[in-house]
């Protein structure tokens, strides 16, 4: 007897289920969409290319030595995203891919923010194209995919992700997630068979792993695959389980690596917040996110979302009603409109990581932490759901021509409104001052924003504005560490070290994670105030306890240098540089002191080593030139002065050094030319006076 053939599971096709896309090559017949969508994405964010570094860009990029060299790649794999930052906040973020992107940007652009912003805009353009490709794969209607791509490209909820350099985390995770889903769909739709299908699943798993290393939010790919296979593609649970298995293996390996091998934990929930408050706050938080996506108004970089206290809190019921209504509609339509129900389910599952069941790190005054940049993943399915509803409305209009005009008009109007809103929202992120001032209009009592704006004023030497803002903040938060740190910076800038010491003592009493940093800062203030013995005692204690880091040895070197102990100072600088080999400020101090003390070979070794990290730094090139001049090698000195001026042609000090060296070498004509250039560049500067004297022959 022959074997009985197993019956195939019948495929149920719902009334609005999309037909199978004709072929993978079908979309290429409308080639213009592949150019129009990224051009649109770039266009609405083009104004962000001229923006400065703001907010977390400072600690993550400008002030982080690790992203300025490929020598520290191991740190990204082994540590928390913010491990170099002085903070008691347990961030619990693990994002080595994001750090790696900063390294590449810095290698190409140094500290020019234009290049970093260009990367953000390019990533968003890439994400937009992938959104079109994914929806085109899922739907047989070209215009559904095209309008989804357009709305995704211009939605203002993405402004924080794209216009802010540090906001790229979600975009960097989103791109490989969507690429992974495209590979998954290609492997499972019959276009690839046998070893080809397994190969595609392997690529999809690898892309998923890459996404997880960019941001934890990538974990939503797993429920997305389940919903698409089960509801959208009507597969059996056995098929769903088999096709989801590779991603479960990947996330399992990720958990083992992160939580067992390197032990990078999750953010801590505040002690006074219980599980009940988190659960009660989830519906309202979800409702606020949905409202942002549908009506993107009132956006803020710092969102106050106090925890719901319980059923007596009206916000609890408002959230339950809003979310419950959406779920009820989806359940009711599960048989008649499966694609719409699937899109709704994908949208809701996208918010699971954002509801603080797994704590999202943030200051405690934010409550149940929210941020508009978290909406990058959910926005995909929000725009798809909107477009599917428009498509459903089109089918219910009798006249096809009228339906096309009506739906097309609505889509164009929505896109235009969103584009204008995005361009306007981008401007908030153009500088620290605009960001913090605009944010304070919405949250005028946020200590983090107040302190950040004060620090900005201090960096810009706007002393009175910083003092006025800090006085306002100190009345509201007299003991807040953030405000105390900003006030100390202001006092140090005014050389009021005695007044800063008691504030730093208060910080030391409150600080846990940053205790070594707090103590080192205290030692610095004591030294500047002339209390050398107390300062040295703190430094020695940090070294003996094994808590010393690079800046502790810098502090020690400065103390030894002030006492005239050159050899001890040189040794301390050398130890500091060994811990941070690419730190130009430390190398500059070490090399300059060595050159001053006559140890020219040591100075040359230090400066030449820095060329590996800072080969275009004009200060480094100028110092090397001065060193060669001191050694009598005028040819090398002139070459390095010329190189320094290529990178900073308007620096009068370097140009004066160049002119003096030309005169010493006997090239009087070129020397006179350089003296005149010094006078032209800075006519009232001390260098100009020296140049005038040189031209007069004195």
Mean pLDDT of the chain: 87
Q: What are phi and psi of 367, to 5 degrees?
A: 80, -135
Please, what are the domains in the chain?
Answer: 48-428 (no CATH), 615-698 (1.25.40.10)
pLDDT tens-digit profile of 145-204?
999 999 999 999 999 999 999 999 999 999 999 999 999 998 866 544 555 577 888 999
CA separation for the pair 198, 671 (Å, rounded): 70
Give me the pLDDT at residue 612, please. 81
Q: Tell me, what's the pLDDT at 394?
A: 64
**Chain segment 77-102, per-residue pLDDT in tens:** 887 777 655 444 446 788 999 999 99
pLDDT at 192: 47
pTM of the model: 0.85
Structure tokens at 459: 């960096």
Question: Is 50 exceeded by the pLDDT of residue 679?
Answer: yes
Euclidean distance between CA atoms 431 and 391, whole angstroms = 41
- Tens of pLDDT along 406-465? 777 888 899 999 999 999 999 999 999 999 999 999 899 899 999 999 999 999 999 999
Digit-coded pLDDT (tens) for 505-545: 999 888 766 688 889 999 999 999 999 999 999 999 999 99
Q: Where are the alpha helices (DSSP H) in 460-549?
A: 463-476, 481-493, 497-510, 515-528, 532-544
The residue assigned the tokens 């100390």 is 488
- Identify the CA nearest to 66 among candidates 456, 611, 431, 550: 550
pLDDT exceeds 90 at position 62:
no
Residue 452 is predicted with a pLDDT of 93
Q: Are 654 and 641 in contact (CB under 8 A)?
A: yes
pLDDT at 321 over 80: yes
Categorize the per-residue pLDDT at 575 as very low, low, confident or very high, splitting at 50, 70 and 90.
very high
Split at pLDDT 50, 70, 90, the class of 569 is very high
Provide CB contacts within 8 A for 161, sequence distance 6+.
120, 124, 167, 168, 170, 171, 373, 376
């490209």: which residue's tokens? 153
Choose between 373 and 265: higher pLDDT.
Answer: 373
Determine whether 127 is exposed, middle or buried from the number of CB atoms within 10 Å of its CB (0-12, 13-18, 19+).
Answer: buried
More confident residue, 22 or 35: 35
| Per-residue model confidence (pLDDT) at position 23 | 41
Share of the chain above pLDDT 90, in %: 56
Report the residue count for the chain: 698
**Which has more confidence, 184 or 329?**
184
The pLDDT confidence band at residue 6, using thresholds 50, 70 and 90, is: very low
The pLDDT score that the predictor gives to residue 437 is: 94
Residue 123 burial (CB count, 10 A):
20
* β-pair partners for 305: 367
Does 552 have pLDDT greater than 80?
yes
The pLDDT of 274-288, averaged and rounded, is 88
pLDDT at 196: 56
């Amino acid at each position: 007897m022959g074997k009985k053939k197993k019956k195939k599971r019948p495929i149920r096709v719902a009334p609005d289920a999309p037909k199978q896309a004709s072929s993978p090559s079908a979309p290429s017949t409308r080639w213009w969409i592949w150019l129009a969508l990224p051009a649109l994405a770039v266009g609405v964010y083009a104004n962000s290319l001229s923006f400065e570094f703001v907010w977390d860009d400072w600690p993550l990029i400008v002030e982080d030595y690790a992203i300025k060299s490929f020598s520290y790649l191991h740190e990204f794999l082994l540590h928390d995203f913010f491990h170099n930052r002085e903070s008691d906040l347990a961030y619990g973020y693990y994002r080595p891919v994001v750090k790696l992107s900063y390294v590449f940007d810095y290698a190409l652009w140094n500290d020019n923010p234009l290049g970093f912003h260009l990367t953000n805009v390019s990533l968003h353009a890439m994400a937009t194209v992938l959104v079109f490709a994914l929806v085109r794969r899922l739907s047989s209607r070209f215009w559904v995919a095209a309008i989804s791509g357009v709305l995704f490209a211009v939605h203002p909820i993405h402004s924080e992700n794209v216009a802010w350099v540090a906001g790229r985390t979600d975009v960097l995770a989103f791109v490989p997630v969507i690429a992974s889903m495209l590979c998954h769909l290609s492997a499972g739709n019959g276009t690839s068979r046998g070893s080809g299908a397994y190969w595609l699943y392997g690529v999809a798993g690898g892309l998923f792993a890459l996404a997880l290393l960019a941001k934890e939010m990538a974990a939503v790919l797993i429920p997305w695959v389940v919903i698409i296979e089960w509801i959208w593609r009507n597969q059996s649970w056995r098929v769903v389980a088999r096709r989801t298995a590779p991603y479960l293996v990947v996330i399992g390996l990720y958990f083992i690596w992160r939580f067992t091998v390197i032990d990078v934990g999750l953010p801590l929930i505040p002690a006074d917040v219980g599980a009940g408050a988190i659960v009660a706050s989830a519906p309202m938080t979800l409702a606020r996110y949905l409202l942002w996506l549908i009506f993107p108004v009132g956006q803020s970089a710092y969102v106050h979302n106090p925890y719901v206290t319980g059923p007596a809190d009206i916000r609890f019921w408002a959230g339950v009603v809003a979310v419950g209504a959406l779920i009820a509609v989806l359940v009711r339509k599960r048989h008649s409109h499966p694609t719409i129900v699937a899109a709704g389910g994908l949208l809701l599952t996208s918010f699971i990581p954002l509801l603080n069941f797994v704590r999202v790190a943030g200051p405690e005054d934010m409550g149940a932490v929210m941020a508009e940049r978290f909406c990058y993943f959910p926005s995909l399915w929000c725009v798809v759901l909107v477009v599917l509803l428009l498509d459903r409305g089109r089918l219910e209009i009798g006249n096809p021509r009228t339906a096309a005009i009506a739906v097309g008009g609505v889509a164009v109007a929505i896109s235009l409104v969103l584009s204008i809103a995005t361009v306007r929202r981008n401007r908030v992120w153009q500088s620290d001052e605009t960001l913090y001032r605009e944010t304070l209009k919405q949250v005028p009592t946020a200590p983090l924003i107040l302190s950040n704006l004060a620090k900005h004023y201090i960096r810009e030497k706007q002393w009175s504005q910083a003092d006025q803002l800090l006085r306002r903040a100190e009345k509201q938060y007299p003991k807040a560490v953030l405000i105390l740190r900003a006030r100390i910076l202001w006092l140090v800038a005014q050389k009021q070290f005695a007044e800063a010491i008691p504030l730093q003592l208060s910080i030391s009493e409150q600080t846990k994670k940053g205790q070594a940093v707090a103590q080192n800062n205290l030692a610095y203030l004591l030294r500047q105030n002339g209390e050398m013995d107390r300062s040295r005692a703190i430094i020695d204690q940090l070294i003996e306890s094994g808590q010393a880091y690079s800046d502790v040895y810098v502090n020690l070197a400065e103390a030894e240098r002030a006492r005239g102990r050159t050899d001890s100072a040189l040794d301390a600088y050398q130890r500091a540089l060994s811990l941070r080999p690419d730190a130009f400020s430390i190398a500059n101090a070490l090399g300059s002191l060595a050159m001053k003390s006559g140890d020219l070979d040591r100075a040359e070794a230090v400066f030449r080593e820095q060329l590996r990290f800072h080969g275009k730094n004009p200060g480094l090139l100028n110092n090397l030139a001065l060193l060669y001049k001191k050694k009598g090698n005028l040819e090398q000195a002139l070459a390095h002065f010329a190189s320094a001026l290529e990178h900073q042609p308007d620096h009068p000090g370097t140009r004066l050094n160049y002119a003096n060296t030309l005169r010493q070498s006997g090239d009087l004509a070129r020397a006179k030319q350089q003296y005149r250039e010094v006078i032209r560049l800075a006519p009232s500067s001390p260098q100009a006076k020296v140049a005038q004297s040189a031209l007069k022959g004195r």
